[in-house]
Amino acid sequence: MEIHQQLDTNKKLFCNCTPIESDEYTKKFQRNLRAVKSELGEYDPAALFEKTKSKTMIYYSNPSSSCLVEQDEEPPHELNPEAKNTSLLISVALNSNIFSEIYPMRKMVIDGSNTSGFQRTMLVSQGGYLDIEGEKVGVQSICLEEDAAKLLQDKEETREFSLERLGIPLVEIALEPIEASPAKIRKIALTLGRLLRTTKKVTRGIGSIRQDVNVSIRGGGVIEVKGVQQLDQLEKVIEYESKRQHGLQLISEKLKSRKIE
């Protein structure tokens, strides 16, 4: 499971814009994003899939909440020190091993959620654990990254976004795989959320925290469900996805018994 939590800072991650929401937009522009090879000379499969849709991305912005950095017309400014310090504080709280140096990396994203075609992310620490009533739940990694643009509309030929959310500091906490019931997973997410709130450095409300959960049953594949915003939804998502995978296994067994491949 991965937890994505917005940080409560006065500025965005790579510019001096204030992270506020507004429904008033004074500027509109468009982009056509394309997949490019990585440093290893390979194409990202997800990027190639988005490329086949051939959608034009339309962006709306307001000078009060975004600037040329969000429009990818200006290089990023220095890293927000408040966001960096908060990510270090969270790493310490989760007993994670902090790296001596932190570097921004580029994660290719051409679904339109970032005007540049990539997301800037930094690996802050690895390892650690979350203590839940004496039981340790392992932490894989903790990253500091910029949040994505807000999707407004997804049409057949275009996809529309607003830029006020793009660039807001976000911490990503990836937990080790565990075998547990949906109720137990919910409890883990609840405990982690409470720990984050004790820092008094995270935002509150719908959309400020999102969970990506990987669901797998014995004999099945791993399916990632992204963007779960409420704990009650998280429990249901895991339960329904488990039932779906179990149903597919039953269908597969029946087909094999009838010698249908």
Lowest mean pLDDT among 54-68, 81-95, 126-140, 226-240: 226-240
Residue 166 has pLDDT above 90, yes or no: yes
- pLDDT, tens digit, for every residue of 84-124? 999 999 999 999 999 999 999 988 888 999 999 999 999 99
pLDDT band at 186, cuts 50/70/90?
confident
Instruction: List Cβ neighbours of 28 (8 Å cut-off, separation of 6 or more).
Output: 58, 59, 60, 61
H or E element that contains 93: helix 81-93
Residue 172 has pLDDT above 90, yes or no: yes
Q: What is the structure's pLDDT at 82?
A: 96
Whole-structure pTM value? 0.87
d(CA 192, CA 47): 31
Q: Would you kindly state where each structural domain of the chain is located, as residue ranges?
A: 4-175
Burial of 219 (0-12, 13-18, 19+ CB in 10 A): exposed
pLDDT band at 209, cuts 50/70/90?
confident
d(CA 114, CA 29): 13
Q: What is the structure's pLDDT at 206?
A: 73
Residue 259 has pLDDT above 80, yes or no: no
Q: What is the structure's pLDDT at 100?
A: 95
Residue 22 has pLDDT above 90, yes or no: no
Q: What is the structure's pLDDT at 23?
A: 78
Among the listed residues 3, 15, 2, the one whose alpha carbon sits nearest the alpha carbon of residue 168: 15
d(CA 135, CA 87): 24
Lowest mean pLDDT among 10-19, 45-54, 119-128, 170-179: 45-54
